[in-house]
Amino acid sequence: MSLESPLPAPMVRLTEAVMAPHDEVLRPPEAVLPPDPEQVHAVEAVFAAQEKESQQVAGLLGMWAGVAVLHDIALDTFSPPAGEIELDEEKKKKGQP
């Protein structure tokens, strides 16, 4: 079997456009001042609230996972094994004429 394709594939040539560098460095129209202490405090409060919220979400997810595991354990504990159910059904069928 030949590795060559019976159909000709089109040749694609990739070219890159070279752009001239800028003469000036682009800067914002106004000078950026450092944040005020009030602004710093507001930003810290926002991030502190997000951290508290994320801890609450993690706690809720942990509770949900615990309940799911408890549900599975309860099902395994209180449901009869599969082999015993089949044996009980066969005994009932044999006992009935």
- Rounded Cα gap, residues 66 and 54, in angstroms: 18
Q: What are phi and psi of 9, to 5 degrees?
A: -95, 140
Both ends of the chain: CA-CA distance in Å? Answer: 70
pLDDT-based confidence at residue 96 (cuts at 50, 70, 90):
low
Write down the pTM of the prediction.
0.42
Residue 74 has pLDDT above 80, yes or no: yes
The string of pLDDT tens digits covering residues 14-60 is 787 877 777 777 777 888 889 999 999 999 988 888 888 889 999 99
pLDDT-based confidence at residue 13 (cuts at 50, 70, 90):
confident
- Looking at residue 26, its amino acid is L
pLDDT-based confidence at residue 2 (cuts at 50, 70, 90):
low
